[in-house]
């Protein structure tokens, strides 16, 4: 029976990073992956392919709408969707091969098949074809991630009624794409197909988009998306989707009650969230109970109630983010190796890769108010930033929330081009307990968009220069 | 790369506590420039830079205890080495520093000035509160802006300052909440801890008691007035009382050797030399430099040495060996106005003379009341080896010598 120090079930960003870190720390490590390629949802059907599509569709949109104004004459760009999808697939391939290379480099043994925890210390791997093998390990990390949340009464066929997976590979641009859920996935993929020519309508149960994001940010972003031509039906729910005709007939009801109405759509994207994926792990048999939301309960050291079994990433509590899972993967590997692994959940950035991007780290104004924290707000719009003006990308702003007494940065929220890259600066600052003044007194290169971060930090003290 | 090590600290001193680093990593230093202050149980000494260069590393942080020869830090011969006389910006600043420093606890980690957050650097410069004295709550104990603001507020509120949350072990019952915020907890310096321990040891060990007498200072004062200028001209130092007291004590010690002796196990060691300790109060605490072989020195030499010791004690410049080996001690509470006191022995010595304030008092002279400048004298002694008769005789002899200085000349 092959024996290891550590077996990681799942090779998404949580699992593969955990395996590599454990190997670096001298452990003999195996990974179990049920899909043909490594990398999990993120690399295969999530973050990576969606970013490829966001990138190409944005360039397509620019070529069609902004180039002429910049003096670049290309005529009306034509879309070659199959080539665009191939471009996306190449990006995915490059990434998943990279993980395979990293496994080889770190002498991590990969077992293809569905992993089941037969007993503490034993993982049974059942390949699609062929017999099952049993592996032995001192420690097991469950990193099986999450799956698409289903909408009750609606069957996803990944052709006309799709999840994010199908929405990344539509064979042709739908005339009308209906998106269920105004969260990150819905808005990103809605943006992709809007730019490629689809009419897009987003139906959201709540009366706002992007629940959990700072309200002011969400409100401004909502207006920007509407300007881009995305339609919103807020405080509404999809009651039914009739797929008997050529067109889908989507029945929408106001949440507060009132008259339902129908919308025709070529494609409906169900993007109402994700649920932890623990099927087939055999958790019940080993006495590992899930919480009321299907997550695996763990303690501060990522240990489950069963000794020797740990869990990280989307299967445990916390935001379902690849980088959160990665940090947990590193932390749990270090903890298993007897070191002091730790994840700071107060400083986990969150990015929506639309155009403009939305990025945040730390607390929202709503959270601070709820916690009775007195804070100062420093806000700076990109309309006053030289680089944004030169690029004519002036949508959005930077908002910094700092403790009124200590000036410590508690939250940073950015709407704007490149917000996802800019938030890293805020995360570093917060990780080191920086005051807004510290950001303000750090020299920022000119002309760059991050100067807006510095100006927002100055604005906390009501002394922004360019306002 | 040059190592900075703990220098030899003197006999029986094996370790020291880092008082304060004057330089931070990255600072340029010149040869012999003071780098760090070490507190021992006897003195506070400054360790000079063994080479010019840049202080590249601090191996022992403020508050740490280090043994003789231990590595304190390193100096690299960096290109940045400049003749450093530039003070740290935190040094030159406002009086706030004076109140700020003592209220803070030692930092968890010494952080290089250069690595401090810009807000912390600004607040340090503006307020004078040294970040190194502020407890840090940031990552890895870094001092962040909020810590500085709290420390500055704390300093401004002194002396009724709010206390730091006490991390130290509580050995006293917690104070009522109302009062707790108006207390402050300050760590004792090594010197203060040593003083405390040694005084209590002396009380616990010796069979200590005190005998009193009084001396008519008319003769000494007349002598001083008469020879003041001449003495000053010849010896370059003012003729004070202390020299004459030392002289009188030596004379009395010669007559009563038990007061100049000490107990060592079952033996008594009589010392046929006269090293007289002179207690000097300083801001850091009491120190007792020793004037050696007082029987062989002229009054001028003794006075000069005492003056020199007093000056250097105030500056914290006394060497350890200068405070070792005393056989008898004189302490003068009179300079603070004390009329009467019972000094505690400077163990393992067996006697200590307490001088007091000179005060005009009515005394009876040949049946008549006269006004005389009088001083009470106190001799605390270890009754284990000094008998009451000896102690009283000693004090009477001192009194007689002072009331009639001719006795000093005549050895009477």
Residue range A68-98, pLDDT digits in tens: 999 999 999 999 999 999 999 999 999 999 9
Contacts of B178 (CB under 8 A, 6+ apart): none
The reported pLDDT for the residue numbered B99 is: 36
User: In the structure, what pLDDT confidence band is assigned to residue A298 with cuts at 50, 70 and 90?
Assistant: very high
Nearest by CB to A437, from B119, B139, B150: name it: B119
Contact A438 B145 (CB under 8 A): yes
Give the whole-angstrom CA distance, residue B48 versus residue B30. 9
Name the more confident of A60 and B99: A60
pLDDT digits (tens, 9 = 90+) for B108-139: 344 455 578 889 988 988 888 888 888 888 88
- Residue A420 predicted with pLDDT over 50: yes
User: What average pLDDT does chain B have?
Assistant: 81
Q: Give the helix/strand (H/E) hosting A65.
A: helix A47-65
pLDDT at A30 over 70: yes
Q: Could you give the C-alpha distances from B311 to A40, B241, B308, B314, in angstroms and in order?
A: 77, 17, 5, 5
B264 is catalytic: no
Q: How many CB pairs under 8 A join A and B?
A: 48
Give the phi and the psi of residue B312 in degrees, each rounded to 5.
Answer: -75, -30
List CB contacts of B154: < 8 A, sequence separation 6 or more.
B100, B103, B104, B161, B162, B164
Q: Say whether B145 and A408 touch across the interface (CB within 8 A).
A: yes
Write the ipTM.
Answer: 0.73
Higher pLDDT, B122 or A313: A313
Start-to-end CA span in chain B (Å): 64
CA B229, B230, B234, B238 dihedral sign is: negative
What pLDDT does residue B158 have?
A: 57
User: If 0-12 CB within 10 Å is exposed, 13-18 middle and 19+ buried, where does residue A318 land?
Assistant: middle
The DSSP letter of residue A296 is: P
Nearest to B374 by CA among B390, B358, B363, B389: B358
pLDDT of B176-226, one tens digit each?
767 777 888 887 877 777 788 888 888 888 999 999 999 999 999 999 999
Residue with tokens 């370059």: B236
Q: Higher model confidence: residue A453 or residue B237?
A: A453
Which residue in the block uniquely carries the two structure tokens 């000896």? B390
pLDDT for residue B173: 66
What is the Cα–Cα distance from A158 to A343, expressed in whole angstroms? Answer: 36
Residues A341 and A319: beta-carbon distance below 8 Å: no
Mutate to test the interface with A, among B144, B148, B149 (most CBs of A within 10 A): B144
Q: Do B118 and A433 touch (CB under 8 A)?
A: no
Pair A54, A354: CB distance under 8 Å: yes
Beta-carbon neighbour count of residue B221 at 10 Å?
Answer: 13
pLDDT value at B156 more than 90: no
Beta bridge partners, A47, equal none
Instruction: Mark yes or no for CB contact B117/A434 under 8 Å.
Output: yes
The A-side interface with B (CB below 8 A) comprises 403, 405-408, 431-435, 437-438, 441-442
Q: Are A30 and A15 in contact (CB under 8 A)?
A: no
Task: Compute the average pLDDT of residues B25-32.
Answer: 82
Taking CA–CA distances from B146, the nearest residue in chain A reads A406
Among chain A residues, CA nearest to B142: A432
Per DSSP, helices labelled H in A228-364 are: 322-336
Q: What is the DSSP letter of B325?
A: -
Cβ–Cβ gap B146/A435 under 8 Å = yes
Nearest to B145 among A431, A437, A442 (CB): A437
The SS3 call for residue A174 is coil
- Integer CA distances (angstroms), B246 to A173, A180, B358, in order: 108, 99, 17
Rg (CA), chain A: 23
| Run of H or E including B280 | strand B280-281
């Amino acid at each position: 029976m092959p024996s290891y120090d550590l077996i990681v079930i799942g090779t998404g960003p949580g699992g593969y990073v955990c395996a590599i870190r454990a190997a670096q720390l001298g452990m003999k490590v195996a990974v179990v992956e049920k899909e043909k390629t490594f990398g999990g949802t993120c690399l295969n059907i999530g973050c990576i392919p969606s970013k490829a599509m966001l990138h190409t569709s944005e360039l397509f949109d620019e070529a069609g709408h902004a180039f002429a104004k910049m003096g670049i004459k290309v005529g009306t760009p034509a879309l070659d969707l199959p080539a665009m999808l191939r471009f996306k697939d190449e990006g995915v391939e490059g990434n998943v091969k990279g993980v395979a290379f990293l496994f080889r480099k770190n002498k991590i043994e990969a077992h293809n098949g569905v992993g089941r925890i037969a007993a503490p210390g034993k993982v049974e791997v059942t390949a699609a074809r062929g017999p099952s093998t049993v592996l032995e390990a001192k420690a097991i990390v469950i990193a099986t991630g999450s799956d698409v949340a289903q909408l009750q009464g609606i069957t996803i066929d990944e052709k006309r009624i799709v999840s994010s997976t199908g929405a990344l590979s539509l064979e042709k641009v739908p005339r009308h794409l209906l998106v269920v859920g105004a969260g990150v996935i819905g808005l990103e993929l809605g943006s992709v197909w809007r730019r490629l020519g689809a009419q897009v309508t987003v139906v959201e149960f709540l009366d706002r988009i992007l629940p959990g994001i700072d309200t002011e940010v969400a409100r401004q972003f909502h207006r920007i998306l509407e300007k881009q031509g995305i339609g919103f039906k807020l405080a509404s729910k999809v009651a039914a989707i009739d797929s008997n005709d050529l067109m889908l007939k989507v029945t929408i009801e106001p949440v507060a009650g009132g008259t339902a109405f129908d919308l025709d759509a070529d494609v409906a994207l169900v993007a109402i969230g994700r649920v932890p994926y623990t099927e087939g792990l055999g958790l019940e048999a080993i006495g590992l109970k899930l919480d009321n939301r299907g997550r695996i309960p763990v303690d501060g050291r990522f240990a489950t109630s069963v000794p020797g079994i740990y869990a990280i990433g989307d299967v445990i509590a916390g935001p379902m983010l690849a980088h959160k899972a990665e940090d947990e993967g590193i932390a749990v590997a270090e903890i298993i190796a007897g070191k002091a692994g730790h994840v700071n959940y107060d400083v986990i950035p969150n990015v929506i890769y639309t155009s403009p991007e939305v990025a945040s780290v730390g607390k929202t104004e709503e959270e601070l108010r709820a916690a009775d924290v007195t804070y100062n707000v420093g806000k700076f719009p990109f309309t006053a930033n030289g680089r944004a003006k030169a690029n004519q990308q002036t949508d959005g702003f930077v908002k910094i929330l700092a403790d009124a007494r200590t000036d410590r940065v508690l939250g940073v929220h950015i709407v704007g081009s490149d917000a996802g890259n800019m938030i890293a600066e805020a995360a570093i600052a917060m990780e080191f307990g920086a005051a807004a003044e510290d950001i303000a007194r750090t020299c920022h290169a000119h002309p760059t968009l991050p100067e807006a971060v510095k100006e927002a930090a100055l604005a906390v003290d009501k002394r922004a220069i360019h306002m | 790369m040059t190592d900075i090590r703990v220098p030899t600290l003197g006999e029986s001193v094996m370790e020291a506590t880092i008082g304060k680093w004057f330089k931070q990593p990255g600072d340029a230093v010149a040869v012999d420039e003071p780098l760090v202050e070490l507190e021992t149980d006897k003195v506070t000494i400054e360790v000079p830079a063994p080479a010019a260069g840049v202080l590249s590393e601090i191996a022992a942080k403020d508050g740490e205890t280090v043994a003789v020869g231990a590595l304190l830090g390193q100096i690299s011969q960096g290109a940045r080495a400049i003749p450093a006389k530039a003070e740290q910006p935190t040094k030159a600043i406002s009086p706030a520093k004076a109140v700020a420093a003592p209220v803070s606890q030692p930092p968890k980690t010494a952080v290089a000035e250069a690595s401090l957050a810009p807000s912390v650097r600004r607040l340090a410069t503006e307020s004078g509160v040294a970040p190194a004295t502020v407890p840090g709550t940031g990552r890895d104990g870094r001092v962040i802006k909020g810590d500085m603001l709290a420390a500055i507020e704390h300093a401004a509120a002194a002396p009724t300052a709010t206390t730091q949350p006490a991390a130290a072990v509580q050995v006293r019952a917690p104070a009522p909440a109302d009062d707790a915020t108006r207390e402050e907890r300050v760590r004792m310096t090594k010197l203060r801890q040593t003083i405390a321990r040694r005084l209590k040891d002396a009380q616990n060990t010796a069979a200590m008691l005190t005998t009193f007498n009084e001396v008519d200072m008319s003769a000494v004062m007349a002598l001083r007035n008469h020879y003041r200028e001449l003495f000053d001209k010849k010896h370059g130092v003012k003729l004070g009382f202390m020299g004459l007291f030392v002289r009188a004590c030596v004379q009395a010690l010669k007559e009563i050797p038990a007061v100049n002796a000490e107990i060592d196990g079952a033996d008594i060691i009589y010392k046929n030399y006269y090293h007289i300790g002179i207690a000097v109060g300083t801001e850091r605490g009491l120190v007792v430099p020793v004037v050696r072989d007082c029987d062989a020195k002229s009054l001028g030499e003794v006075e000069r040495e005492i003056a020199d010791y007093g000056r250097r004690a105030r500056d914290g410049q006394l060497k350890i060996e200068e405070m070792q080996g005393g056989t008898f001690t004189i302490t003068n509470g009179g300079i603070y106005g004390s009329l009467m006191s019972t000094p505690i022995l400077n163990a393992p010595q067996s006697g200590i003379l307490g001088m007091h304030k000179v005060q005009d008092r009515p005394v009876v002279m040949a049946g008549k009341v006269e006004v005389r400048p009088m001083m009470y004298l106190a001799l605390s002694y270890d009754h284990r080896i000094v008998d009451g008769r000896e102690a009283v005789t000693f004090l009477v002899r001192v009194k007689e010598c002072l009331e009639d200085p001719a006795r000093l000349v005549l050895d009477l």
